[in-house]
């Protein structure tokens, strides 16, 4: 069973692509996360958890969802982490998570997809993004063959720098960099409410038709990247940049 969470569509695309190869569907964890619902799932085939990489680890929001859920049936779990460049030492943290959940970790596969972190980095325009997605498909094909054969994913040896990125840098990043304080909305806002509807933590309310951020933000970039009017900015960091949504979504 494939279970995914996605901010801007990359991980959804990968989960659905894998579902096409493996047969069956892909379950979106959004409603569980947003509703604070602990999932109870059953599968005879291996679990395949698909998510973005945040700070060289699984996003905390997805990890908490996995910790709160019960996985009945299969005891084997694969992780597919979409990323803009690399996942650091996430594989090791995923192995530890599996041990806590009573699952056998079959490995973590990084799939390089377009960068979506518009609040921090440049993000690709549509044509470049399509090309990056095209180049990601062989990695997904290889992952699906391993899953079908129940072969553990081959994992590259992490470097000392990887340990630093997924360890102390992740700690600093998640505690001090992730905040909604710099989100602003301009007069271009059309009061559609899409930002509030897509926020996985329910951290946006409409105040006089305009978004107001309430805290709890996980920097998934769904609000800023899904605004149809381009009315949301993140300080000066997002000014003039394209907004990213998976072009194949
Ligand atoms: C808060 C945040 C942190 C990120 N951290 C990393 C990272 O550590 N390494 C990386 O290669 N990409 C990183 N990215 C890029 C995303 O992991 C990547 O674009 C992913 O495919 C987005 O998936 P989604 O569209 O399913 O949300 C980060 C993006 C965000 C928004």
Percent of the chain with pLDDT over 70: 100
pLDDT digit string, tens, across residues 202-217 = 999 999 999 999 999 9
Radius of gyration of the chain measured on its C-alpha atoms: 18
Residue to mutate, 4, 81, 84, 122, ligand 1, most ligand atoms under 8 Å from C-beta: 84
Residue located nearest, by CA, to atom 6 of ligand 1 = 54
The rounded Å distance from CA 44 to ligand 1 centre is 30
Residue located nearest, by CA, to atom 2 of ligand 1 = 54
Is 46's pLDDT higher than 90?
yes
Buried b (16+ CB within 10 A) or exposed e, 89-116: bbbbbbbebbeebebebbbbbbbbbbbb
pLDDT at 135: 98
CATH code for the part of the protein at 178-234: 3.30.70.20
Range 2-173: architecture per CATH: 3-Layer(aba) Sandwich (3.40)
Of ligand 1's listed atoms, the one at least distance from the Cα of 170 is 8
Does ligand 1 have an atom closer than 6 angstroms to the CB of 57?
Answer: no
DSSP secondary structure string for all residues of 55-96: TTB--HHHHHHHHH-EEEE--EEEEEEEESS--TTHHHHHHH
Angle (CA) 107 5 132, round 5° = 75
pLDDT at 59: 98
Does ligand 1 have an atom closer than 6 angstroms to the CB of 54?
Answer: yes
pLDDT at 203: 98
Does ligand 1 have an atom closer than 6 angstroms to the CB of 8?
Answer: yes
Residues near 153 by beta carbon (within 8 Å), at least 6 away in sequence: 78, 106, 107, 108, 109, 143, 146
Mean pLDDT for 51-76 is 98
Residue to mutate, 6, 51, 62, 116, ligand 1, most ligand atoms under 8 Å from C-beta: 116
Does ligand 1 have an atom closer than 6 angstroms to the CB of 155?
Answer: no
The rounded Å distance from CA 208 to ligand 1 centre is 32
Is 249's pLDDT higher than 90?
no
Structural domain boundaries of the chain? 2-173, 178-234
pLDDT digit string, tens, across residues 90-136 = 999 999 999 999 999 999 999 999 999 999 999 999 999 999 999 99
> What is the maximum alpha-carbon separation in the chain?
54
Mean pLDDT for 127-149 is 98
Mean pLDDT for 159-188 is 97
């Amino acid at each position: 069973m494939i279970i995914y969470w996605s901010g801007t569509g990359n991980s959804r695309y990968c989960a659905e692509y894998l579902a096409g190869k493996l047969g069956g569907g892909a379950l979106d964890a959004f409603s569980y996360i947003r509703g604070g619902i602990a999932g109870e799932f059953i599968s005879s085939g291996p679990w395949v958890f698909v998510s973005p990489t945040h700070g060289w680890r699984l996003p905390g929001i997805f990890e908490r969802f996995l910790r709160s859920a019960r996985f009945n049936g299969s005891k084997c779990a694969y992780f597919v982490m979409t990323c803009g460049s690399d996942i650091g030492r996430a594989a090791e943290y995923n192995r530890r998570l599996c041990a806590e959940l009573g699952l056998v970790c079959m490995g973590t596969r990084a799939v390089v997809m377009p960068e979506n972190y518009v609040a921090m980095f440049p993000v690709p325009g549509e044509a470049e993004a399509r090309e990056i997605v095209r180049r990601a498909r062989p990695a997904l094909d290889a992952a699906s063959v391993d899953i079908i054969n129940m072969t553990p994913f081959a994992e590259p040896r992490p470097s000392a720098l990887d340990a630093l990125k997924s360890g102390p840098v992740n700690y600093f990043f998640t505690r001090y960099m992730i905040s909604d304080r710099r989100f602003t909305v301009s007069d271009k806002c059309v009061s559609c409410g899409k930002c509030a509807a897509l926020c996985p933590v329910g951290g946006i309310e409409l105040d006089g038709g305009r978004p107001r951020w309430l805290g709890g933000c996980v920097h998934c970039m769904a609000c800023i990247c899904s605004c149809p009017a381009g009315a949301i900015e993140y300080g000066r960091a997002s000014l003039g940049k394209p907004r990213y949504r998976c072009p194949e979504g």
